[in-house]
Structure 1
Amino acid sequence: MNIEQLREYCLSKKGAFETLPFGPDTLVFKVAEKVFLLVGLGQIDDLSFNVKCDPEYAVELREEFEQTVIPGYHMNKKHWNTVYANRELPDQKLNELIDHSYELIVKSLPAKIREGLQ
């Protein structure tokens, strides 16, 4: 997976959009103004991104994929993981982690907004 494939996948999510709230170096993907993925734009050879994760699942992933999933860099380490692409996980699994993050955010939205996304 490269950064353009990551961007296209995130933008394919219903209601997703991109923004640069932290400056020109960090691309942030949101749904209904809530962040579901962050990625640094300067990455070429060793792509990583931050995604939200259920705390118990986050621990499981970190234990199983020690070289690929670590506590979220500059994020709440209980709820966010930094995931390295092109290491232990195939693109399908990376997409599943993005889906999981997106779904956690959507579940937290008010019912009226959730209905508009379905």
Structure 2
Amino acid sequence: MNIEDVRNYCIAKKGVTEEFPFDEKTLVFKVMGKMFVLSGLERIPAAINVKCDPERSVTLREEYDGSITGAFHMSKLHWNTLILQELPPQLITELIDHSYELVVCKMTKKLRNELENL
């Protein structure tokens, strides 16, 4: 999976926008204005940051040592970095979905209703 595959997968999700809020090199995907995936476009190897349940983060980091790590410049308790070329595409999409769902479940009822009605 590459960054373009990630972009296509993320942008197809309901309520998602893509932005460059930090600089022209960091692509951010948001659902209803809340971040759920980030990618430094110039990073080699290609990688993304995704939100993750803290307990699951520990398990994933142990199982995929070096391919999944605590996210640089983010809360390592809640965010992981995924090295795209080192992980199965199915796992990457599953973790993108997990990140999206974690963000959606923390939204206000009003925002969740708006998202549902899109």
- 2:85 corresponding residue in structure 1: 86
Deviations 1:33-53 (A, max 9, x none): 11001001114x511010000
The Cα of 1:117 is off from its aligned counterpart by 2.0
> Which amino acid in 1 is paired with 2:2?
N
Amino-acid identity (%): 51
Q: How does 1:9-24 map to 2 (within 5 A)?
A: 9-24=9-24
Provide the C-alpha distance between the structure 2 equivalents of 1:98 and 1:24, rounded to a whole number of angstroms. 22
Whether 1:37 and 2:63 are equivalent positions in the alignment is no
Provide structure 1 residue ranges, at least 5 long, that are not aligned to the other structure.
none
Give, in angstroms, the shift of residue 32 of structure 1: 1.4
C-alpha contact (below 8 Å) 2:32/2:115 kept by paired residues: no
Structure 1 length as normaliser, TM-score? 0.94
The answer for the alignment partner of 2:111 in structure 1 is 113
> Separation in 2 of the partners of 1:86 and 1:116?
35
> How many residues in Structure 1 have an aligned counterpart in Structure 2?
116
Give 4+ residue runs of structure 1 displaced > 6 Å after superposition.
none
CA RMSD of superposed structures (Å): 1.0
